[in-house]
Amino acid sequence: MLLTLKIAALFSVTALAEIVGCWLVLLWRKDGGSAWLLVPAALSLALFAWLLTLHPVASGRVYAAYGGIYVATALGWLVWVDKVPLNRIDVLGGGLILLGALVMVAGHWSRA
């Protein structure tokens, strides 16, 4: 169980690094922000790539499970940073994606 929590935390930090890096590029490109935003964006995306190397197994299954955490993190970002409330479709879609990722992880870890 502790390993599962550590991996979930690593997935969450990885997703946050990816979202922050992309968001900073968006601020520069769409909102007319300073080109200096590209420096922390590049650092954040480099952190994201490095964090991917820390995941237990670099396989499609791990990245699919990461995708579920990424979606949940992105929806959290939508609420807390963009100040957009979730609607039923957001909650349903995000829940289904996260449930699918959990089924894949739980199904394969129970065989290990």
What is the predicted pLDDT for the residue at 111?
57
pTM over 0.75: yes
- Assign 65 a pLDDT band (cuts: 50, 70, 90): confident
Closest CA to 56 of 107, 14, 98: 14
Sign of CA dihedral 23, 24, 25, 31: positive
The string of pLDDT tens digits covering residues 71-90 is 999 999 999 999 999 999 99
End-to-end Cα, the chain, rounded Å: 14
